[in-house]
């Protein structure tokens, strides 16, 4: 279908506006990261700020729509766009530093307000404002301007997907800021042209106020919009947390739910509906049934298949809500109020998951809560299928057929499903679980069209088999402790092999053997086969007192690499980890290994930077085994700072064992910039003699200016770090995680290391 010039202009303007909105978020977050240590609080505070500014922008659009004519609104909008060019390009002012010893949240919010707040605020108003202008244009499509919201969301999704794969790899932060500024100037021009195109058609006076009696919006409609916007927003964050914490620690996995979330808006506000509400409801219920059957009978299956199930449930649940949201939208007179309330619902969903849930839910039940709500709001706008209608139907049935009707038809089926659920909860037979889950799936399929009974059963089943939690412990681990704070969910579990492990999501943060014979023997990445043992062996041969700095406490395994006169400073950002590591009912390395140590709370880079130069014999950075690596700890600037803090004959050791990221080439490139050689040690996953436990394969890179230190490690099989095509050194201005994805080097590098060790045995260093 051929678009009119006006539609093309407005679509392009909204697409650019949304692209600028969604690209400034990760760009500014990367800018502020080194100042605040890269904690999750940085990202969460950024998201909270952007959600609130988006809400503020929508409120500004609604207020000016209510009290100003389109012409005056256009003049004001273009004036504000021009005014905020004074803060461009977006940079953090020189000399600005967070307060020492205080919570930096207010400092960060203030910094964002004065640097990016103005442009973001006025950009946020563009989507509802330009749709209002288009509605007054007289174009043949002006009676339904909501399709332009699809163009806006297309810009959001495009920017979201392109940032990590194109923008970030090709441009430094400075380059991104200048490119963003040029896009902002282009938007001012397009906004001016959009206003010019409808100037004559736009009324010169403010619109008359619309009351409820004259066809305005009711409070019931407002509550419906708020609810339908809240659920998908909460669900998006819930499924993201669940997938990254309980399924697989895959880098950038958060992009998929966010892209699906934005994509559903594109679909539901498009001119042609690709999926009807009835089909969305049916598919949502079907995927929920598949998820429930999987949860009961096959709790541990292929992670990619499990991710696909959860994303499908999320997609159809979000579509169910957003289709109803689009279908209940008012006419163009109330367009800005509609977007304002929709934005408020989204912000409340984010606030609930980011702030409320971590404070009150040790188990991450916010995901299940949002799923049940998504079931309950099916046909939310249909009075015939409301909760009151369901109650009235039950009353009428009881009145006509008597109390016996509770034990026939759907009610009997619901009782049977609950009985089966309770029975399955108390059994461990895989055959029984499989058969029972099949029966529950059939009953739920029968209940699909009965919204309230279906929602009730889903809630009850998830109560016994909640996502992200196993009442009897995990399939291979007996969970003895679980806690949650701002940094995530922590579990302590006992394995069948006799180990006790500290888990953050799916990432192992330390292992201790329960057998008294091996209780103080370092395992996992620190076993007798690990290259870190080589490094400490070299240090053991050095006379005199030694001071070690380690970024990342874990459970304090390295405290057992002891020597008279050796002390360790642990730099740990999460106080909960310190409490667990120092609690002897869980782990005893710190208590019993006998090494003097101090735990210094705070981000490793910031706290190490405060130490005097030439302080340490060895600095170990051990924070890169999960998916969400703190990049700011790995940049050239960070490595230079570590090198300044070690003695002339000291070393910097980086632990880069990772299932998904190949970080060795990044460190090789950094060594070339710094002029300090980097060598690599690697070990396979091998058996620990006398136990059923396997040591973890591990990968380490060491920087030192001391040639004797390097030669001794070469004699133990260490080799020079290698490069990788297309990888550049990471700096505070540049990083590219996509270039180091797909870590397929393990097998090849293990063979290289084995060959180096064999050669070392025959070489006299």
The DSSP letter of residue 333 is G
Q: Using CA atoms, how far apart are residues 220 and 381, in angstroms rounded to an integer? A: 10
Q: Which helix (H) or strand (E) holds 491?
A: strand 488-495
Q: Give whole-number Cα distances, 710 to 110, 536, 613, 701, in Å.
A: 47, 13, 22, 11
Q: Using CA atoms, how far apart are residues 353 and 563, in angstroms rounded to an integer? A: 46
**DSSP string over 375-400:** HHTTTTT-GGGSHHHHHHHHHHHHHH
* Residues near 747 by beta carbon (within 8 Å), at least 6 away in sequence: none
The pair of three-digit structure tokens given for residue 172, joined into one six-digit string: 């430094």
Delimit the domains of the chain by residue range. 1-143+172-209, 212-471, 523-761
Radius of gyration of the chain (CA): 29
494 — phi, psi (to 5°)? -100, 135
User: What's 196-216 look like in SS3?
Assistant: HHCCCCCCCCCCCCCCHHHCC
Give CA angle at 733 (727, 734), nearest 5°: 20
**Chain-centre distance for alpha carbon 498:** 32
Q: Using CA atoms, how far apart are residues 307 and 243, in angstroms rounded to an integer? A: 7
Query: Looking at residue 747, what is its pLDDT?
Result: 47
Q: Using CA atoms, how far apart are residues 320 and 49, in angstroms rounded to an integer? A: 28
What sign does the dihedral 525-632-670-173 (CA atoms) show?
Answer: positive
Give the three-class secondary structure for 509. strand
Query: Looking at residue 46, what is its pLDDT?
Result: 77
Give the three-class secondary structure for 21. helix
Residue closest to 461 by CA, chosen among 430, 431, 416, 406: 416
Tell me the pairing of strands 596-601 and 616-621: unpaired
Q: Using CA atoms, how far apart are residues 450 and 554, in angstroms rounded to an integer? A: 49
**Chain-centre distance for alpha carbon 198:** 42
Q: Using CA atoms, how far apart are residues 765 and 7, in angstroms rounded to an integer? A: 74
Count of C-beta atoms within a 10 Å radius of residue 729 = 20
What sign does the dihedral 320-373-344-214 (CA atoms) show?
Answer: positive
Q: Give whole-number Cα distances, 396 to 146, 243, 389, 451, 518, in Å.
A: 41, 44, 10, 18, 69
Q: Using CA atoms, how far apart are residues 66 and 656, in angstroms rounded to an integer? A: 57
- Residues 29-83 have pLDDT tens digits of 888 877 766 555 566 677 778 888 889 999 999 999 888 888 999 999 999 999 9
Q: Using CA atoms, how far apart are residues 339 and 342, in angstroms rounded to an integer? A: 5
Residue 267 near residue 321, CB atoms below 8 Å: no
Residue closest to 621 by CA, chosen among 598, 637, 638: 638
Q: Give whole-number Cα distances, 572 to 398, 508, 547, 556, 646, in Å.
A: 62, 16, 17, 11, 19
Q: Using CA atoms, how far apart are residues 739 and 751, in angstroms rounded to an integer? A: 23
ω before 5 within 30° of 0 (cis)?
no
Residue 162 near residue 252, CB atoms below 8 Å: no
pTM of the model: 0.75
Count of C-beta atoms within a 10 Å radius of residue 304 = 10
Give the three-class secondary structure for 550. strand
The pair of three-digit structure tokens given for residue 305, joined into one six-digit string: 């298949």
Query: Looking at residue 283, what is its pLDDT?
Result: 92
Which residues are 596's β-sheet partners? 567
Q: Using CA atoms, how far apart are residues 229 and 405, in angstroms rounded to an integer? A: 37
Q: Using CA atoms, how far apart are residues 272 and 624, in angstroms rounded to an integer? A: 46
- Residue showing tokens 């605020």: 121
Q: Using CA atoms, how far apart are residues 202 and 260, in angstroms rounded to an integer? A: 36
* Residues near 310 by beta carbon (within 8 Å), at least 6 away in sequence: 239, 242, 243, 247, 291
Dihedral, CA of residue 200, residue 206, residue 210 and residue 214, to nearest 10: -60
**Chain-centre distance for alpha carbon 647:** 38
Q: What number of CA atoms fall less than 13 Å from residue 615's CA on the CB side?
A: 16
Long-range (24+ apart) CB contacts under 8 A made by 296-303 are 296/424, 296/433, 296/436, 296/437, 296/440, 296/461, 296/465, 297/430, 297/433, 297/434, 297/436, 297/437, 297/438, 298/434, 299/470, 299/475, 300/475, 303/247, 303/248
Angle between helix axes 126-135 and 335-351 (nearest 10 degrees) is: 160
Count of C-beta atoms within a 10 Å radius of residue 219 = 8
- Residue showing tokens 């499924």: 239
**Chain-centre distance for alpha carbon 213:** 45
Mean pLDDT by 10 residues, the chain (765 residues): 80 91 84 68 72 90 89 93 94 78 75 92 91 85 80 83 83 91 96 89 64 65 92 88 62 74 86 84 90 78 77 94 90 84 89 79 81 85 56 56 52 74 74 81 81 83 72 59 77 84 79 86 84 92 92 91 93 88 92 91 86 94 73 90 94 87 90 94 77 80 94 90 88 82 57 59 48
The pair of three-digit structure tokens given for residue 731, joined into one six-digit string: 């700096």
Q: What number of CA atoms fall less than 13 Å from residue 107's CA on the CB side?
A: 15
The pair of three-digit structure tokens given for residue 665, joined into one six-digit string: 């080439």
- Residues 249-289 have pLDDT tens digits of 444 667 788 888 888 988 888 777 788 888 999 999 999 98
Give the three-class secondary structure for 709. helix
Out of 3.40.50.720, 1.10.630.10, 3.40.50.150, 3.40.50.300, the CATH code matching 523-761 is: 3.40.50.150
Query: Looking at residue 391, what is its pLDDT?
Result: 54
How many residues comprise the chain? Answer: 765
Q: Which helix (H) or strand (E) holds 720?
A: strand 719-720
The pair of three-digit structure tokens given for residue 611, joined into one six-digit string: 């130490």
Query: Which conformational region is residue 321 in: left (phi greater than 0), alpha (psi within -120 to 50 degrees), or beta?
Result: alpha
Query: Looking at residue 215, what is its pLDDT?
Result: 55
Dihedral, CA of residue 415, residue 420, residue 423 and residue 425, to nearest 10: -110
Q: Which helix (H) or strand (E) holds 78?
A: helix 70-83
């Amino acid at each position: 279908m051929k678009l009119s010039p006006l539609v093309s202009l407005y679509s392009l303007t909204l697409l650019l506006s949304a692209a600028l909105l969604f690209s400034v978020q990760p760009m500014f977050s990367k800018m502020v990261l080194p100042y605040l240590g890269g904690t999750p609080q940085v990202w969460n505070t950024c998201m909270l700020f952007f959600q609130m500014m988006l809400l503020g922008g929508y409120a500004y659009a609604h207020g000016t729509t209510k009290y100003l004519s389109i012409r005056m609104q256009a003049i004001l909008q273009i004036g504000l766009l021009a005014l905020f060019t004074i803060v461009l390009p977006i940079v953090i002012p020189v000399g600005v530093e967070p307060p020492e010893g205080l919570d930096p949240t207010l400092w960060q919010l203030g910094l964002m307000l004065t640097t990016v707040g103005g442009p973001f605020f006025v950009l946020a108003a563009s989507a509802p404002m330009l749709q209002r202008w288009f509605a007054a244009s007289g174009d043949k499509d002006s009676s339904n301007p909501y399709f332009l919201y699809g163009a806006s969301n297309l810009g959001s999704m495009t920017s979201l997907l392109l940032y990590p794969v194109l923008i970030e790899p090709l441009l430094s932060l400075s380059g991104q800021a200048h490119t963003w500024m040029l896009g902002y100037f282009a938007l001012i021009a397009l906004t001016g042209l959009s206003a010019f195109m409808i100037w004559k058609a736009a009324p010169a006076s403010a619109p008359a106020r619309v009351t409820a009696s004259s066809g305005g919006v009711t409070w019931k409609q407002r509550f419906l919009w708020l609810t339908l916007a809240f659920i998908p927003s909460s669900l998006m964050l819930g499924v993201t947390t669940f997938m990254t914490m309980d399924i697989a620690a895959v880098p950038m996995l958060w992009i998929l739910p966010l892209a699906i979330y934005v994509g559903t808006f594109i679909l539901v506000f498009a001119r042609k509906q690709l999926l009807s509400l009835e089909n969305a409801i049916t598919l949502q219920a079907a995927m929920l049934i598949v998820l429930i059957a999987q949860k009961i009978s096959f709790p541990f299956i292929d992670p990619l298949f499990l991710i696909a199930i959860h994303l499908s449930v999320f997609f159809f649940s979000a579509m169910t809500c957003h289709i109803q949201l689009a279908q209940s939208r008012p006419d163009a007179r109330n367009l800005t109020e509609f977007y304002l309330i929709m934005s408020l619902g989204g912000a409340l969903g984010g606030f609930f998951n980011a702030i409320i849930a971590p404070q009150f839910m040790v188990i991450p039940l916010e995901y299940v809560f949002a799923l049940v709500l998504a079931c309950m709001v099916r046909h939310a706008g249909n009075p015939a299928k409301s909760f009151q209608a369901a109650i009235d139907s039950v009353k009428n049935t009881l009145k006509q057929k008597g109390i016996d009707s509770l034990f026939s038809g759907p009610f009997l089926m619901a009782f049977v499903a609950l009985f089966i659920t309770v029975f399955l909860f108390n059994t461990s037979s895989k055959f029984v679980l499989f058969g029972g889950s099949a029966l529950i799936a059939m009953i739920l399929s029968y209940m699909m069209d009965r919204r309230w009974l279906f929602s009730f059963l889903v809630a009850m089943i998830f109560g016994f088999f909640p996502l992200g939690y196993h009442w009897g412990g995990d399939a291979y681990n007996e969970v003895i402790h679980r806690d949650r704070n701002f940094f995530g969910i922590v579990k302590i579990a006992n394995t069948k092999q006799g180990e006790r492990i500290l888990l953050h999501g799916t990432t192992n943060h330390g292992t201790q053997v329960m057998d008294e014979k091996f209780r103080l023997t370092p395992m996992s990445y620190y076993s007798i086969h690990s290259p870190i043992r080589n490094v400490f062996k070299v240090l053991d041969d050095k006379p005199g007192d030694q001071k070690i700095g380690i970024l990342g406490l874990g459970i304090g395994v390295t405290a057992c690499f002891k020597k008279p006169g050796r002390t360790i400073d642990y730099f740990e950002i999460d106080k909960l980890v310190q409490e667990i590591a120092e609690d002897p009912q869980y782990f005893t390395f710190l208590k019993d290994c006998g090494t003097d140590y101090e735990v210094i709370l705070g981000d490793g880079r910031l706290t190490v930077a405060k130490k005097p130069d030439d302080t340490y014999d060895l600095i170990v950075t051990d924070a890169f085994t999960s998916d969400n690596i703190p990049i700011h700890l790995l940049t050239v600037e960070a490595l230079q700072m570590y090198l300044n803090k070690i003695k002339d004959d000291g070393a910097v050791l980086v632990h880069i064992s990772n299932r998904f990221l190949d970080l060795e080439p990044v460190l090789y490139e950094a060594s070339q910039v710094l002029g300090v050689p980097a060598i690599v040690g690697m070990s396979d996953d091998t058996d620990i003699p006398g136990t059923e436990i396997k040591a973890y394969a591990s990968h380490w890179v060491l920087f030192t200016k001391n040639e004797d230190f390097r030669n001794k490690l070469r004699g133990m099989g260490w080799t020079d770090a290698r490069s990788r095509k297309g990888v550049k050194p990471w700096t505070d201005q540049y990083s590219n995680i996509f270039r180091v994805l797909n870590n397929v080097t393990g097998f090849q590098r293990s063979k290289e290391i084995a060959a180096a060790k064999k050669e070392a045995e025959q070489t006299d260093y």
